[in-house]
Structure 1
C-alpha cells in the first residue's frame, strides 16, 4: 500500500510589477476582459507582441493565444481572455474559465512557475479571488497519482499572482492569496476523498485519511464510530444500508464526527451532515443498464464537508463553531442487504418503509441529521445543512453546474438559500433555489397502518415529479426537524444541498463545490 500523500497547495507569491523581478518565473498568463486594460502594466515588447497578434487573429478576444517573446518570463506568453462579461447571462465564471484554460495551457507547454496577471472587472467584486482559485485548481494532482506515480506528484513549483486592476473592497493582496490557498486546500481534500476510487476510499480508509488530515494541531476534533451494534442502536437507518458490507472488513461503514470551535464567544454555529456512499450499486434494487459507472462519486457530500473543515483548520475563524458528521458507507448488494418493504424505526422514532434500496442517501443521512438536530438545540445561532449527491432529478432540473438549495420554514425566513446563492454568485459557485412544499410531505406519507413514512417510490428520481424536493421533506420528517418549523417553540434553520449536478463527474476530478460559497458565507468576513 502506497504511503498516504495529503494534499498540498502550490506556493503563491504576490507580484507587484510585471516589468521586473520575474526572473524566477517561466510564463506569463494574462487573464483580462480587454487587451487595452493591460498595456500600462506590461513590458513594452510584450504589449506590442500582443497587439500584433490581435491584429492577425480574428477571434483573439475569445481564444487562448500562446506565443513566444524574448522579454516574457520563460519567453512564454499565454493570453486568455474572458470574453464579454456584461451581458445579462454573464457572471464571474468568465474569469475562472479563462484562468483555468490559461494556466492549463501554460503547464501544457512546459511551464512550472507561471505568473497569472488578472485584470479584474469592476462588475465582479471577487474577480481576482475567482481567478486565483481557478489557477490553483489547474495545479491539483489526484490523490492516487500522488501516491502511485511519484514523478507526477506535482504539476507546478510555484505561482506568481499580479493584480492589475483592483475593484473596490476586493480584499486583494496577501490576505486574498492566503484565503484562496486555504479554500483550495479544502477543495483538494474534497477532490481527494470524492475522486479516489471505491477501494482507495472505502469507508475505513476515509476514516484513516480524515484522522491523518486533522492531527493534534489542526484545531479539529475527530471521533469515529465503527461498531455495528452502536450503529444498530443509535443510527438504525445507517445500519440498514451498511448491513450488506459488514461481512467485508474493508467495506464496513464509518460515522465520522468533526468539531471546530474558534476563539472568542461563539456567535454562529454550522452543523453539517455529508453523504459518503463510497460506491452505490443500488443495493438489491441494483443499478442496471450501465448506470453504475461513476457511483464512486456518491461520497462527494461527505468529502466536501471534510474539505470545509480543512478550511476552518487553516484559517481558524473566530467566534465560529462547526459540527460535522460524515456518513460513510458502501451500498452493497448481497445476502445481508436491506430490502424494499422493510420497516425500520429511525433514531427519531419514525417508522420508515423502504421503497427502493437505491435511495440509500437519505437513509444514511437521516439519523445523523437527527443527531445534529439534538445538538443544535443547545448551540448558538445554529444553521443545519445536509450535503449530498442525492438525485438525478436535480440534474434534470438544473443541469450539471448548479447546487440546489432547499430551505425549511425557519431557514426560508432567514433567507439562508438566498444568502448562499448571493455568496456563491460572488465566487463562481452558483446555486438554484428550490422549495419544499406540502405535496412533498404528502408524497412521503405512507398510506398503510404500519409505517409513518415511505422512503421512496420505485421509480428513478429523474422520472418522478418533484424528484429532488421530496427527499428534503423525508430528511426533515424522519430527523424530527419538522417539529422545529416556524410554528414551534424552538425553530431550527435547515437547508438541504443537492450537489449531484455541481459535485462533478467521472472522468474529471470532483469540483469541491459548494466549499467556496460556504466559506464566503461563513468565514470570509471573519478572516479578512
Structure 2
C-alpha cells in the first residue's frame, strides 16, 4: 500500500540534491520566490503560457526541471485551497511524464490568508490524488511500474506524521471505493480491511454468520437477500474500533458499503447501473478515516465504526417494494423502493451504534453514504451534512464545515425540517415509517434531506433529540456528489471524501 513518501524540508536552500524536479505552486501574478523569479521571467519572455498553465521549463534547479503550476488568483471571495491541490496534481503528471521520481513541492504566496493555513499539506494530497492508480492496476502491473514517483519533498513547517497519516487513509478509501465488484465483493472488502489494520491499534471484527446477520441486521439482510445464492457475494458487517488511552469523546460511524447496486427489484435501467460498484464509497470513506486514526493514535478520541458491506442483487429472492420489515430498532419499515437500499443498511448500523452509545464518553453519531442523486444535484462536488437537533446545538456541522474549507475537503450544510419527517410518516397503522417514495431522488423536493429523517426514525434516534433526557448528536453525510472526481461514477477517480474533513476536525492540533 505504497504512495509517494513525503519529506518535509525547512526551505528550498536547505533541500538536498537528490530531488530531480521542482514544482512551484501559486499565483504567478503575485511576487515569486526569489530563488525562482529570474528563471520564470526568462521563460515568460519565450513562452507567454508560463504562469497561465502548468508547464515544464529548463532551469538551474534540482534536476534541471522547473514545473510551473499556476493556481490563478487566490484572493477572490470564492477562491479556496483546492486550487492548490489542482495545480499540484496537474504538475505531478508533468513531472511523472518527464521522468522525475523525486520532485520538490514549493507553495508560495498564501501565508497571509487564513483560508490557506494548510496550503502545503493540501498541495501534497492533491499531488498524491493525481498520481494514484487503481488497486486492480497496481495488482496487475505492479505498483513500482505505474506509480513511478517515489518521494515528494514539501517545503514548509509541516508535520510529517500528519501528512502521511491522512494520505494513508485516503488511499484506503480510494481502494475500497473504486475497485470493481468482484475484487471487492463483501468477503474481500472485509479481507482488505483486516490487512489494512493489521498490527495497528484498530480492532477489526467481521460479522459474517448469516443467521446472526438475519437476527441483528434485518434491514441489511433484506437488501442482501438475493445475494445469498452466490457465496462469494454474501454480506457482512465490518466493525472497526479504536480505544483512546484517555478518551474524552467518541465518534461513531455507520458506513454504507453497497459493493454493487443493481437497484434490486426496482432495477436500474437506461445505463444507470454502470458505476454502481462505487456505491460503497461511504464505507470506504469511514475505513479511510479509521486508517488515519490508526496512524495518528489520538489520546482523547475513541472511534467506533460499523460498515454494512452488501450486494443489492436481483433475483427470485430479491426484496420488493411494499414489504414491511422490522428493523434492529424494532421500528416497522415499509419499503418504498428497493433502489433506496443504502438507508436500510445504515438504519440497522446506526441502531446498533445508538444502543452502544451510552458505553462511551460524549458519543457523536455519523452516517456516511453515497446515498442520493439529489445530493449531487443540489450540492455539486460538496459533501452534504444533515444534522439533528443535538448536533446543531453543539455546533457540530459548523466544525466539520470549517475543517473542510481549510483542509480541502469541503462540505455544505443542509437542515432537517418537519417536511422531511412528514414525507416518511406511515400512511397506515401497518408500519411505522416509509423508506422512500418511488421516484428519483433527484426529482424529489428535499431528496437528500428526507432520508436523514427516515434514518432518525428507523434507527431509534428520534428518542435522542433535544427534547430527550439523553440527546445524541447525529450528522448524516451524503457524499454522492463528492465521492468521485467530476461526478463520473463509472470512470472518475475516487476522491476519498470525507477522510480529510473528519481528520482535520478531530485529529489535527
The match for 2:209 is 227
Q: What secondary structure, in the 3-state scheme, does the structure 2 residue paired with 1:491 have?
A: coil
The alpha-carbon deviation at position 307 of structure 1 amounts to 0.6
Correspondence for 1:347 among 328, 341, 344: 328
Q: Does 1:206 align with 2:173?
A: no
Which residues in structure 2 correspond to 1:98-113 (within 5 Å)?
98-113=87-102
The match for 2:20 is 26
Q: Does 1:472 align with 2:472?
A: no
Return the TM-score normalized by structure 1: 0.92
The match for 2:428 is 448
The match for 1:54 is 44
Correspondence for 1:380 among 361, 370, 379: 361
The alpha-carbon deviation at position 140 of structure 1 amounts to 2.0
Which residues in structure 2 correspond to 1:311-330 (within 5 Å)?
311-330=292-311
Q: Is the 8 A contact 1:186 1:308 kept in 2?
A: yes
The alpha-carbon deviation at position 23 of structure 1 amounts to 2.6
The match for 2:506 is 522
The match for 1:4 is none
Consecutive unaligned residues in structure 1, runs of 5 or more: 1-6, 164-171
Correspondence for 2:224 among 242, 245, 251: 242
CA distance in 1, matches of 2:337, 2:326: 16
Bigger mean CA offset, 115-124 vs 346-355? 115-124
The alpha-carbon deviation at position 20 of structure 1 amounts to 6.6
Correspondence for 1:147 among 127, 131, 139: 139
Which residues in structure 2 correspond to 1:28-107 (within 5 Å)?
28-34=22-28, 37-42=31-36, 47-69=37-59, 71-107=60-96
Deviation sequence 1:346-389 (CA, Å, 0-9, x none): 11111111110000000111011000011112211111000000
Q: Does 1:187 align with 2:167?
A: no
Deviation sequence 1:221-280 (CA, Å, 0-9, x none): 1111111211111111001001000110111101011100122x2101000000000000
Q: What secondary structure, in the 3-state scheme, does the structure 2 residue paired with 1:321 have?
A: strand
CA distance in 2, matches of 1:428, 1:36: 22
The match for 1:422 is 402
The alpha-carbon deviation at position 56 of structure 1 amounts to 4.2
RMSD of aligned alpha carbons: 1.4
Correspondence for 2:477 among 494, 497, 522: 497
Q: What secondary structure, in the 3-state scheme, does the structure 2 residue paired with 1:224 have?
A: strand
Correspondence for 1:391 among 372, 375, 394: 372
Q: What secondary structure, in the 3-state scheme, does the structure 2 residue paired with 1:432 have?
A: strand
The match for 1:156 is 149
Q: Does 1:487 align with 2:467?
A: yes
Deviation sequence 1:455-487 (CA, Å, 0-9, x none): 111101011111101100000000000010000
Q: Is the 8 A contact 1:347 1:479 kept in 2?
A: yes
Deviation sequence 1:120-171 (CA, Å, 0-9, x none): 40212111221121122233222111111126353212111123xxxxxxxx
CA distance in 2, matches of 1:60, 1:11: 29
Correspondence for 1:132 among 119, 124, 133: 124
The alpha-carbon deviation at position 55 of structure 1 amounts to 3.6
Return the TM-score normalized by structure 2: 0.96
Q: Does 1:14 align with 2:8?
A: yes
Q: Is the 8 A contact 1:9 1:181 kept in 2?
A: no
Bigger mean CA offset, 104-113 vs 191-200? 104-113
Deviation sequence 1:319-348 (CA, Å, 0-9, x none): 110000010000000011101111101111
The alpha-carbon deviation at position 8 of structure 1 amounts to 2.0
The match for 1:292 is 273
CA distance in 1, matches of 2:178, 2:373: 19
CA distance in 2, matches of 1:503, 1:228: 30
CA distance in 1, matches of 2:78, 2:490: 27
CA distance in 1, matches of 2:13, 2:117: 26
Q: Is the 8 A contact 2:33 2:108 kept in 1?
A: no
Q: What secondary structure, in the 3-state scheme, does the structure 1 residue paired with 2:258 have?
A: strand
Q: Is the 8 A contact 1:17 1:41 kept in 2?
A: no
Q: Is the 8 A contact 1:120 1:127 kept in 2?
A: no
CA distance in 1, matches of 2:437, 2:178: 29
Bigger mean CA offset, 474-483 vs 121-130? 121-130
Correspondence for 1:251 among 212, 233, 240: 233
The alpha-carbon deviation at position 520 of structure 1 amounts to 0.7
CA distance in 2, matches of 1:13, 1:239: 46
CA distance in 2, matches of 1:450, 1:513: 39
